[in-house]
Amino acid sequence: MKVDYGYEIHIPKKNVARKYISLYDVTNLWKVNLSGAWRMIYTIKQPQREDTEIEILSIWLDVLDIISHDEYDKIFGYRKR
């Protein structure tokens, strides 16, 4: 994902499932379509730091779920056709 920034898909804030807001207090959510119809759901955040610290910018990627396509549809409220 560091090399190919177009690999992941941003989930708009209005579509973020309540599960992730209540469990993880996320402000952004991303997904990656994995092989075999699996989905990886993750968020990006910057670590907390003290005001007196000088820090090289670092970003944490927290994987929240690796779920099947059916489970993804359930969590995000999509229906089968």
Angle at 17 between CA 7 and CA 58, to 5 degrees: 50
Considering Cα of 38, then 21, then 11, then 81, what sign does the dihedral take? positive
Q: Could you read off the pLDDT of 25-65 as tens digits, one per residue? A: 888 899 988 888 899 999 887 666 666 555 555 567 788 99
pLDDT at 56: 53
- Between 70 and 62, the more confident residue is 70
pLDDT at 43: 87
| 21-28: average pLDDT | 89
pLDDT at 8: 84
- pLDDT of residue 6 exceeding 90, the answer is no
